[in-house]
Structure 1
């Protein structure tokens, strides 16, 4: 049975191929016929469009000629007005006309003529010399004299032939005691030739102009100029019919109409034979009184357009043949690959399945390698999945935590809060953000979590995805900024109080000094006054410290070497530390960049930190001072580390407040760190504290103060006390 099916299948494929070929040939024949008809229609459209473009060119020529004639008329009237107030001598008039001549000469004015009928003379001015001509000997100079109007108007004569050139005369009357009129003699070849020779329509098309009598005023074939347009062509090509172009000239162009058309000619720029040309023409208004009109025509051979259209048709035919070839080849390929299609489809499915698997593995690798807390919850708060970072952080493995409650990771309060948030996400279908605190051993960390809904393909809520991140450092920075603002406010308040105390304190100390001088040194009154004086001076020192913190200083650009600054302080405190049984260790970085700051004030800061460290180690210990570069080389850091009793976490946020101290009464004012904070902040730096009251594996017992100051770049200015 299989043997019988194979011939049937082969016959079917053969019939199918024959059908495809026949259909392709039929479509190709129909396409060829349509292409021929379309080519004819496209050629006619191209002709019409090309003629419209030629019409635009003819209009541009028309507007240019009319503007130039108006310009020459205005120049003529301006020259007439200038002459009316001048002397009649030829030399004076020539000098007066020279600027005008320079302007109009470029447009083709060959000479300027001024008539003086009373003396029978005509002054003809050429570019470089005046010439006096007797009217009786030159009657052709004033053919339009009798037609001049009485007012300030310009009369334009019909074009006249003088030798091989044609001239146009523009005349205007003169209101002068002895002079009658002024005229421009315009050489039309000079006037029209330079402009029209640059007119191109297509590749070889050109423009020509005829006057109201049908004479050529400008034409690329110079022999036509001055001749009748009806006779010149017939004389050149007597065997060719010029009925179409003569009809266009007689019925359209000479009657001042605008339009387009076509005609047959026997030559075109050296090419002879029967040539069809396209023509576009526009009327030119030369003057209205008396009325005079010319007409400009722009012509081009049709074969230029036919050549371009045929080229397009050839490409279209090639494209159609290529399309048919592709269709036939595609049909054959379809038959050829029919049996292999299922196998290729299967391979494609396998490849896409493998790609999807790789994508899933990449996604899982991305989630597993992320250093964020990523896990999913159901509506009851059970863990559906946990990434490796979360499991490792809480000391377990992902498979051990999956399916367990979220309270396995967090405290009861935090777990209950997360279950409540997950329920809200299930109900609303919207993301919820939250921040919570985790206590880990002796420390704490802050977590920012984003709970997002996970929906299935049908849009049903399946789980809640939680992505959480450690924001402890951000919280510390926020706390630092709040502390900075609080200290700034306290500093302003303390400065105001200090100013108010300073005045009565000065009075007390002054009178106390006066009374001390009046008492005997060994008397009881003397001792009592000395006690008052000592306590008053103590109060004065406190006031000075407050004012030093809040005082507005002058700008300075001093640079400080922190290593040298610390060496000076160590010389002062070394013996004192040795007496208290404190070992001083220094770890100074070499080639430390300099910072902006004042040596005296920075030494005051470091002296306060060293004294506080020594006070925290009453039984002795190790005091370590380190310097180094921080912040990617933009800051210099100084660390003062002791092995003292440490600072409790609840009072760590208050150590920079004024008058806050943990020392016994009478041993401290509580202004040391307050003033130090103000000095460091003034120089654009920061000071922070870390303390451990109980030793851990990660951190020993004691306190570390870190001061960071920006590296000097030569442009900063800081304020120091004045």
Structure 2
């Protein structure tokens, strides 16, 4: 019977799709499930039988998954926490309790956590999608009413500018340049509003992500030079084809790369890498910058419409990107630990 229970325990820790930590009375890690190792980005052989203080030494105490109070009998149920390893960010639901012997003495503790990132992302995506659809409907209905007077104003301003130039009125000509620039900015904002509604004339076809990225690398390189940023592009061989709109996919990659470059005003490295997730059958593109990172309280808001940390931003760029990728059946996820940010764009392949 004991041998059977031991086999079950070993199989449970190996096969269960949950993070499981077993802790002894010395606050050491007695065992850990394979899924927990994946989420924590740690190797079982390197951490088993080590003190949890040592394992999580680089993590601030308030963000650690485990507290010493667990051995005093502290029970946790459905506690929501966020965890970011060097590659991904996870939303977790955590349970913990103590283990007792037949006399009722505490002999250790366990922690079980489940990855609910996709569930939470889906919930947030539905909420954002509803808001974007409403904004898009309003925008589609008012765009022409805004653009028509703007076109008239722009035309007369261009005539005034030409007249001022002919008469040598440089100061007045500069004023018209400023006004024309602001009109162009309003037009650009209207275009972004229109993108919030489902894009018209979408042409889905089977394409190679590598070919799309290679086509826009020169554009990204030129932008990077302006900010003293080095661009590293790590292409993958034999990526499966995905079904997507090539122009919209270019827009997403350019937008995310531009954000990454602008996050490094003092220079840095922007790395674009490709990979295949054969388990989930996704083509993944990781875009990593070496900037200061995104604060945890901001990460959950960056895809919200109109949320921006830029002085001149509209807060619509990432919202539009998420909408585009979502319509292709994919996802955009972000991970940031204070020393850089990684955006992961995943698109399913057949």
Q: Provide the TM-score with structure 1 as the length reference.
A: 0.38
Per-residue deviation, 1:394: 4.7
Picking from 309, 316, 320, the partner of 1:662 is 309
Which structure 2 residue ranges, 5 or more long, are not aligned? 14-19, 33-47, 54-65
Whole-Å separation in 1 of the counterparts to 2:68 and 2:258: 42
- Tell me the SS of whatever aligns to 2:341: strand
Residues 119-170 of structure 1, C-alpha deviation per residue, up to 9 Å, x if partnerless? xxxxxxxxxxxxxxxxxxxxxxxxxxxxxxxxxxxxxxxxxxxxxxxxxxxx
Picking from 52, 55, 58, the partner of 1:395 is 52
Per-residue deviation, 1:469: 1.5
Picking from 113, 123, 144, the partner of 1:470 is 113
* Closer, same or farther: CA 615–450 of 1 in aligned 2, 3 Å: closer
Paired residue for 1:532? Answer: 179
Whole-Å separation in 1 of the counterparts to 2:341 and 2:127: 23
Per-residue deviation, 1:537: 2.4
- Tell me the SS of whatever aligns to 1:632: coil
Please tell me whether residue 499 in structure 1 is matched to residue 140 in structure 2.
Answer: yes
Per-residue deviation, 1:487: 1.4
- Tell me the SS of whatever aligns to 2:52: coil
Picking from 199, 208, 225, the partner of 1:561 is 208
- Tell me the SS of whatever aligns to 1:389: strand
- Tell me the SS of whatever aligns to 2:31: helix
Whole-Å separation in 2 of the counterparts to 1:441 and 1:692: 7
Alignment of 1:34-433 (within 5 A): 359-364=1-6, 366-367=8-9, 371=13, 372-374=20-22, 388-389=30-31, 392=49, 394-395=51-52, 410=67, 412=69, 418-419=73-74
Residues 244-303 of structure 1, C-alpha deviation per residue, up to 9 Å, x if partnerless? xxxxxxxxxxxxxxxxxxxxxxxxxxxxxxxxxxxxxxxxxxxxxxxxxxxxxxxxxxxx
* Closer, same or farther: CA 374–552 of 1 in aligned 2, 3 Å: same
* Closer, same or farther: CA 411–536 of 1 in aligned 2, 3 Å: farther
Whole-Å separation in 1 of the counterparts to 2:189 and 2:145: 14
Residues 674-700 of structure 1, C-alpha deviation per residue, up to 9 Å, x if partnerless? 11111111111111011121xxxxxxx
Which structure 1 residue ranges, 5 or more long, are not aligned? 1-358, 377-382, 397-408, 422-432, 694-700, 714-722
- Tell me the SS of whatever aligns to 2:239: coil
Whole-Å separation in 2 of the counterparts to 1:656 and 1:649: 14
Please tell me whether residue 515 in structure 1 is matched to residue 156 in structure 2.
Answer: yes
Whole-Å separation in 2 of the counterparts to 1:702 and 1:560: 30
Please tell me whether residue 703 in structure 1 is matched to residue 341 in structure 2.
Answer: yes
Whole-Å separation in 2 of the counterparts to 1:553 and 1:586: 31
Paired residue for 1:677? Answer: 322
CA contact (8 A) 2:27 2:51 kept: no
CA contact (8 A) 2:83 2:92 kept: no
Residues 177-227 of structure 1, C-alpha deviation per residue, up to 9 Å, x if partnerless? xxxxxxxxxxxxxxxxxxxxxxxxxxxxxxxxxxxxxxxxxxxxxxxxxxx
- Tell me the SS of whatever aligns to 1:678: helix
Per-residue deviation, 1:546: 2.0
CA contact (8 A) 2:231 2:271 kept: yes
Paired residue for 1:689? Answer: 334
CA contact (8 A) 2:216 2:254 kept: yes
Picking from 430, 433, 436, the partner of 2:79 is 436
Whole-Å separation in 2 of the counterparts to 1:410 and 1:677: 36
* Closer, same or farther: CA 450–642 of 1 in aligned 2, 3 Å: closer
Per-residue deviation, 1:521: 2.5
* Closer, same or farther: CA 542–641 of 1 in aligned 2, 3 Å: same
Paired residue for 2:57? Answer: none
Whole-Å separation in 1 of the counterparts to 2:268 and 2:132: 34
Whole-Å separation in 1 of the counterparts to 2:326 and 2:255: 16
- Tell me the SS of whatever aligns to 1:521: helix
Per-residue deviation, 1:495: 1.2
Between Structure 1 and Structure 2, how many residues are aligned? 307
Per-residue deviation, 1:599: 1.1
Whole-Å separation in 1 of the counterparts to 2:283 and 2:144: 41
* Closer, same or farther: CA 538–683 of 1 in aligned 2, 3 Å: same
Per-residue deviation, 1:484: 0.5
Paired residue for 2:267? Answer: 620
* Closer, same or farther: CA 656–385 of 1 in aligned 2, 3 Å: closer
Whole-Å separation in 2 of the counterparts to 1:450 and 1:517: 69
Whole-Å separation in 2 of the counterparts to 1:439 and 1:493: 30
* Closer, same or farther: CA 706–393 of 1 in aligned 2, 3 Å: farther
Paired residue for 1:449? Answer: 95
Paired residue for 2:58? Answer: none
CA contact (8 A) 2:29 2:50 kept: no
- Tell me the SS of whatever aligns to 2:121: helix
Whole-Å separation in 2 of the counterparts to 1:654 and 1:440: 17
Residues 575-604 of structure 1, C-alpha deviation per residue, up to 9 Å, x if partnerless? 332343222212111111110011111111
Per-residue deviation, 1:628: 1.6
- Tell me the SS of whatever aligns to 2:79: strand
Structure of higher CA gyration radius: 1
Whole-Å separation in 2 of the counterparts to 1:571 and 1:595: 23
Per-residue deviation, 1:662: 1.4
* Closer, same or farther: CA 623–703 of 1 in aligned 2, 3 Å: same
Whole-Å separation in 2 of the counterparts to 1:438 and 1:559: 38
Please tell me whether residue 601 in structure 1 is matched to residue 248 in structure 2.
Answer: yes
